[in-house]
């Protein structure tokens, strides 16, 4: 059971559908936190733009994943941590140690 109800594509208003379709076409990623963001299409779109900007920056995919892991672990963000570990394994990064970075206080 999800914490918030999933908005199905057929139930989205025009603005939600527009940003959802754009994300689906560009990255294919519309799950995870985007299920919450879709309720605020401008936030959803801003997150997609930020994601694209970071991806086109000077860091390699491997370096991006290492940064993602460090930030998620530092802030003790459980869902992003597990999602990023899964992504890291998929691109060939060894499993991170259990406590690679101290937690934020």
Q: Using a cut of 0.85, tell me whether the model's pTM lies above it.
A: no
The answer to whether residues 32 and 63 belong to one domain is no
Under DSSP, the state recorded for 98 is S
Confidence of residue 60 (pLDDT cuts 50, 70, 90): very high
Number of independent structural domains in the chain:
2
104 part of a folded domain? yes
Distance CA 95, CA 85 (A): 7
Residues 37, 43: contact at Cβ < 8 Å?
yes
Rounded CA separation 41/7 (Å): 12
pLDDT mean over 13-22: 93
> 3-state class of 83 per DSSP?
helix
Domain of residue 14 covers 9-55
Whole-number mean pLDDT of the chain?
A: 84
User: Does the residue 95 lie in any domain?
Assistant: yes
Rounded Cα gap, residues 58 and 105, in angstroms: 31
Question: Which positions ≥6 away from 2 have C-beta within 8 Å?
Answer: 35
């Amino acid at each position: 059971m999800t914490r918030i109800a999933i908005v199905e594509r057929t139930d989205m208003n025009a603005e939600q559908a527009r940003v959802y379709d754009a994300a689906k076409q560009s990255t294919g990623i519309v799950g995870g936190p985007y299920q919450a963001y879709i309720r605020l299409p401008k936030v959803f779109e801003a997150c997609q733009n930020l994601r694209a900007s970071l991806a086109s920056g000077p860091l390699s995919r491997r370096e991006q994943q290492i940064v993602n892991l460090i930030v998620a672990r530092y802030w003790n963000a459980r869902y992003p941590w597990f999602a990023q570990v899964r992504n890291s394994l998929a691109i060939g990064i060894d499993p991170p140690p259990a406590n690679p970075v101290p937690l934020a206080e």
